Amino acid sequence: MNIIKSDSPKKMRKSLKFKNHLLSLIDLKIILNSILLLIHIINYLLYNLQIFLYEL
C-alpha cells in the first residue's frame, strides 16, 4: 500500500483550502441554478394562469 506524502504540511493545507474554495464555488453554482430554475417554473405557471384567465 502506497501512502502519498505531500512535500510539506503548508502545501497540503493550501491544496485543502483550494479544494474547499472549489467546493464552495460549486455549491454557489448549484444554488444559483436552482434559484433560476425556480424563477422559470414560477414564470411558466404565471404564464399559464394568464392564458387560462384570458380564456375564461
Residue 9 lies in a domain: no
pTM: 0.59
Tens digits of residue pLDDT in 1-21: 555 555 666 777 777 787 788
Query: Is 21 a domain residue?
Result: no
Domain assignment of residue 42, yes or no: yes
Distance of CA 3 to the CA centre of its chain: 33
d(CA 11, CA 5): 11
Percent of the chain with pLDDT over 70: 84
Determine the structural domain holding residue 40 and report its residue range. Answer: 32-56
- 38 assigned to some structural domain: yes
Which is nearest to 5 in space by CA: 21, 42, 15, 48?
15
Q: How much is the CA Rg of the chain, to the nearest whole Å?
A: 23
C-alpha cell at 2: 502506497
Which of the 8 DSSP states describes residue 56? -
Question: Is 48 inside a domain boundary?
Answer: yes
Count of the separate structural domains present in the chain: 1
